[in-house]
Amino acid sequence: MAAAGIAPLLPGVLPGTASAAEAAASDRPDFPLVRGGVATAVFVDTADDPAVVRAAGDLPADIERVSGLRPRLLHTLPTRAPYLVLVGTLGSSPVIDRLVAERRLDVSGVRGRWEASVTQVVERPVPGVDRALVIAGSDRRGTVYGVYDTSERIGVSPWYWWADVPVVHRDTVAVPAGPLKRREPSVRYRGVFINDEQNLTTWSRRTQEPDKNIGPETYKRVFELLLRLKANYLWPAMHPYSDFFNKHRDNPELADRYGIVVGSSHPEALLRNGVHEWEPWAKDHPGADGTLPVYDYTVNPGVISEYWRARARQNASYESSWTLGMRGLHDTALETKYATTIPEKVVVMNDIIADQRRILAEEVGAAAEPQIFIPYKEVLDLYNAGVRVPDDVTLIWPDDNHGNMRQLPNEAERVRAGGNGIYYHLSYWGRPRSYLWLDTTQLSKVWQELRRVYEHGVDRMWIFNVGDVKSIETGLSFSMDMAWDVDRWNADNVEDFVAQWAGRLFGRRHGPEIAAIRTEYYRLAAERRPEFIDRGMFSVVHHGDEAGRRTAAYERLLERVRALGAELPEAYRDAFYELVEYPVHGAYLMNLKYYWADRNALAVRQGRGAGTNRFADLAEAAHAEEAAITKRYNTEVAGGKWDGIVNPYPSQIPKAPGRPAVTRVARQETSGLGVAAEGNDTGAARPLSFSSYTRDRRFVDVFNTGFLSVDWAAETGQPWIRLSATGGSVTEQTRVWVEIDWAGVPEGAHESTVVVTGAGQRFEVPVRVVNDGERARRRARGFVEANGYVSIDAAHFEQRVARGGSRWRTVRGLGRRTGAMEAVPSTAAPVTGDFAARAPELRYRVRFASAGTFPVTVFRLPSLDERGHRRIAVALDDQPVTVLSGQSVATGNRGDAWARNVEEGIEKLTATVTVAAPGEHVLRLFMVDPAIAVDQIVVDTGGLPATYLAPPESYHPVFNPEPFLEAEWEKLL
């Protein structure tokens, strides 16, 4: 690229410089890393930690990526140099310590802190050197992060290798004189769990290590990525199709040399991988009668204890995290033949922990930290029943595998010396459904839960399940960013993360559009993850074809993706495909093929002819296109670098929804006319309804019951009823849109018809129109009932009232619409009475056209609290308040309330309100329990059909003055 053309593509400011770090203004000139064809050498003392020496070697490589010139890496100070980069750790680098002693390097706020660092220009730091850029860390990882921060500041993304993000070439490379201080992180241990990793294993074997199933060469790449993201912790791959981490002894040695703390997941006590390691151990330690011992501590405590001891001894010299407790082999429940009750199992777990602690004390000593206990699934029940976890052990609280924290530490647990951590899923295999293919958890949802856990004192360890690593790039980047500086993002700016992140990857001018695309992509996934799609989820007959509107939203999104992609230079196409295009296109096609399959099933019920087969063809074509784009990812993108990394349909783990079954009808040389009006599976018994507030648009499907073309014609009962087509010849089907010319409709309620004729048949579609007049529309002050309902986006409140130190806040980008309302702070006490005086409140002005007692449904996001409740209260005007109780416990079962909530991403809580007389009223929402979030509110005033999504938002003069202008999607059949 020519220098003049790259300005919009240059990386933005390093993330965190505004809050996690302190950058002091300086009037001194920038420090040159490359200038005039000369690269500044990098010095690191070999006496420093090996992790620092290794990372210092990456800095010259990164400078070369930017400039084409590779600086020398020095281990002895030069006798003469105008510029020099000095890398070192306090207490481990004599030259750094000398600068501190001479008070020429300011380490206040850095020395003695966890993983902190300072980058500062020092004049004449050592004899013969005029000027130095000093990168000094409080400990080894602090220095490493300082090095990689410098790389990112000059334009090398942490994702340069893992997502093929190009590095913009510059002949002159410099950094500000500083100083820049990076304070210690919000969370001490921040890392990932590589899990359900079949695709990563396939890719690794094909492209990295043909003789291994994830080995040292792959882990080198993983370790480097983690450090560039400022992570420090890893639970390695553990499934049967992967080599267990300690099989290759290079793995733990490499981790230590990189500075990565290695731990193990909840079923892998003391770094033992039961999937691979127990059976060989059992064969080598048979019982006296020759039988193999089972993995049951109540049966074989001695054999199991020695099994753990061997690994503790083997890995004693490495910086490790030690998982205490026990579960069954390969993520199964704890086996206790001789302990059948909960109290008996609690005793066994206490004995296990005591034994493991003794092993660690004897084999590892004081270095055996951190030690963690993970009350996952059935172990949480045992913990709550009385398992004694030593005070210096970190409690790792699990979510429900779908991003909802099950419970958080109470006051006593928050003050434990070992502190608290979380195990959080960005990817998951298990009940009720798995999501392993794409990154589909809203960042605002992640933010909401992580903010909540931090407010409850959970700051010792955050571990994220990231599946195969690839496809979770955005979610992982955000999670690590937040773990480093939990205060950087808030309810008002969380959506801005993607704009800044994408701006650093693709150029600042493209960041906002990529952020808008990802926000809509996440919103659609919040309605239903693409991995959760199934037959008949979304209605194809109600609300203007609910499923079609959703599919069209995906299509519009893909059009934006392609338009943006066409603007990018060729060098960015691979990264753009991996990070933006493939996720959007893949999610679209997954929805599209099921949409056409549902239209196919409906066509069968309606007795369509050629159109039935047309829908079947479209469904199968969408599935074929999905396979084609996945093949492109694996075989063409980045020259085939990612062969096998993306596969919606792996052989050994749960698959994304595959090819939906479709029905075809045999061709017959016949024709016939059929009609199905919106709101009806067949026929037109349910009238088309129109309101002058919402200015609706409805459809009538005109179709052929055979295969030979048939002529049809349509006419309206009133001149103010408009049709998108009034006749023609149809072989398959035609969708006719019906609208109202509101300027020509007399005020009042009217009934009319649309009549369709052809092939000797006549179909009459009833039409109901209510016109309150333009004056009434202009004078409306709130949401207006129409078509039998009131639908409200919770963020569109008339007024919010804070009370008792609590309030409602808007969280942008959360939920199924543009944002949700959350009751905060999350640590507030519940309000269980006198709501109008004590509880924070949301008020919504509503104009009802009818009177009666009506169901009101609050759509809340399915947060949990297994020690408490998830309640909210609703009232109309000054009427009595009704408290609604949501699901607070994660059952882990299929088909129950919890399963439905996590599949749908919301929980519907319903009460009734009584409208004594038509007119304006105030719908009131009160907090009962804190940290509860509300997405939408729907009042059914009569005849609202049951659909997956809430109906389109009602007319509101400010928030939604033109409800149907967004529905430009009629090009779908």
pLDDT in tens, 121-167: 999 999 999 999 999 999 999 999 999 999 999 999 999 999 999 99
CB 215 within 8 A of CB 258: no
The vertex-478 CA angle with 426 and 824, nearest 5°, equals 85
Sheet holding 21-23, edge to edge: 21-23, 180-182, 117-123, 129-137, 81-89, 42-44, 73-74
pLDDT at 331: 85
Number of residues that make up the chain: 973
Coil vs helix vs strand at 119: strand
Following DSSP, what letter does each residue of 489-523 receive, concatenated? Answer: --TTTTTHHHHHHHHHHH-GGGHHHHHHHHHHHHH
Instruction: For residue 245, give both structure tokens.
Output: 């981490």
**In terms of Cα–Cα distance, which of 323, 325, 330 is closest to 270?**
323
Q: Torsions phi, psi of 395, nearest 5?
A: -85, 125
Q: Which residue has the tokens 């009370």?
A: 803
Question: What is the average per-residue pLDDT within 794-819?
Answer: 97
Q: Measure the CA–CA gap between 824 and 802, rounded to whole angstroms.
A: 10
Give the helix ranges, DSSP H, for 94-171. 94-101, 140-153
Q: Measure the CA–CA gap between 630 and 646, rounded to whole angstroms.
A: 7
Q: Measure the CA–CA gap between 549 and 968, rounded to whole angstroms.
A: 9
pLDDT at 10: 44
Question: What is the average per-residue pLDDT within 519-529?
Answer: 98
**In terms of Cα–Cα distance, which of 593, 521, 493 is closest to 809?**
493
Q: Measure the CA–CA gap between 745 and 751, rounded to whole angstroms.
A: 12
pLDDT in tens, 844-857: 999 999 999 999 99
Q: Which residue has the tokens 């928050």?
A: 414
pLDDT at 7: 37
Which one-letter amino acid corresponds to residue 458? V
Among 23-32, 78-87, 513-522, 544-553, the range scoring the smallest mean pLDDT is 23-32
pLDDT in tens, 269-282: 999 999 999 999 99
Q: Measure the CA–CA gap between 151 and 497, rounded to whole angstroms.
A: 20
CB 813 within 8 A of CB 822: no
Enter the pTM of the model.
0.95
Per the omega criterion (within 30 degrees of 0), is the bond before 375 cis? no
DSSP character at residue 479:
H
| Residue 834 burial (C-beta neighbours within 10 Å; 0-12, 13-18, 19+) | exposed
Q: Measure the CA–CA gap between 807 and 839, rounded to whole angstroms.
A: 8
Number of H helices, E strands in the chain: 22, 39
DSSP character at residue 241:
T
Question: What is the average per-residue pLDDT within 692-698?
Answer: 95
Question: What band does 28 get if pLDDT is binned at 50, 70 and 90?
Answer: confident
Question: What band does 730 get if pLDDT is binned at 50, 70 and 90?
Answer: very high
The vertex-460 CA angle with 458 and 463, nearest 5°, equals 90
Helix (H) / strand (E) containing 593 = helix 582-606
Share of the chain above pLDDT 70, in %: 96
DSSP character at residue 784:
E
pLDDT in tens, 49-74: 999 999 999 999 999 999 999 999 99
pLDDT at 12: 40
- Dihedral (CA of 74, 77, 80, 84) sign: positive
Q: Under 8 Å CB-to-CB from 611, ≥6 apart: which residues?
A: 603, 703, 704, 732, 733
What is the chain's mean pLDDT, rounded?
A: 95
Coil vs helix vs strand at 799: strand
Q: Measure the CA–CA gap between 518 and 515, rounded to whole angstroms.
A: 5
Q: Measure the CA–CA gap between 91 and 138, rounded to whole angstroms.
A: 8
pLDDT in tens, 319-366: 999 999 999 998 899 999 999 999 999 999 999 999 999 999 999 999
Which one-letter amino acid corresponds to residue 882? T
Q: Measure the CA–CA gap between 883 and 127, rounded to whole angstroms.
A: 75
Q: Measure the CA–CA gap between 797 and 810, rounded to whole angstroms.
A: 10
CB 371 within 8 A of CB 417: no
Which one-letter amino acid corresponds to residue 144? V
Q: Which residue has the tokens 């349509």?
A: 714
Cα Rg, the chain, nearest whole Å: 31
pLDDT in tens, 169-199: 999 999 999 899 999 999 999 999 999 999 9
DSSP character at residue 711:
E
pLDDT at 21: 66
pLDDT at 292: 95
Buried b (16+ CB within 10 A) or exposed e, 148-166: bbbbbbbbbbbbbebbbbb
Which one-letter amino acid corresponds to residue 5? G
pLDDT in tens, 772-784: 999 999 999 999 9
Comparison of pLDDT for 6 and 184, the residue scoring more: 184
Question: What is the average per-residue pLDDT within 719-734?
Answer: 97
Instruction: For residue 527, give both structure tokens.
Output: 């309605």
Bridge-based pairing of strands 261-262 and 688-691 is unpaired
Q: Under 8 Å CB-to-CB from 425, ≥6 apart: which residues?
A: 399, 401, 402, 403, 464, 465
Q: Measure the CA–CA gap between 237 and 840, rounded to whole angstroms.
A: 46
pLDDT at 481: 98
| Residue 86 burial (C-beta neighbours within 10 Å; 0-12, 13-18, 19+) | buried
CB 773 within 8 A of CB 749: no
Which one-letter amino acid corresponds to residue 25? A
- Count of Cβ atoms closer than 10 Å to residue 544 Cβ: 21
pLDDT in tens, 861-896: 999 999 999 999 999 999 999 999 999 999 989 899
CB 707 within 8 A of CB 667: yes
DSSP character at residue 643:
T
pLDDT in tens, 95-116: 999 999 999 999 999 999 999 9
pLDDT at 24: 67
Q: Torsions phi, psi of 908, nearest 5?
A: -95, 115
Instruction: For residue 633, give both structure tokens.
Output: 């990812």
pLDDT at 967 over 60: no
What would the 3-class secondary structure string for 715-748 be?
Answer: EECCCCEEECCCEEEECCEEEEEEEECHHHCCCE
pLDDT at 520 over 80: yes
Helix (H) / strand (E) containing 275 = helix 274-284
Question: What is the average per-residue pLDDT within 752-775?
Answer: 97
- Dihedral (CA of 770, 776, 778, 779) sign: negative
Question: What band does 19 get if pLDDT is binned at 50, 70 and 90?
Answer: very low
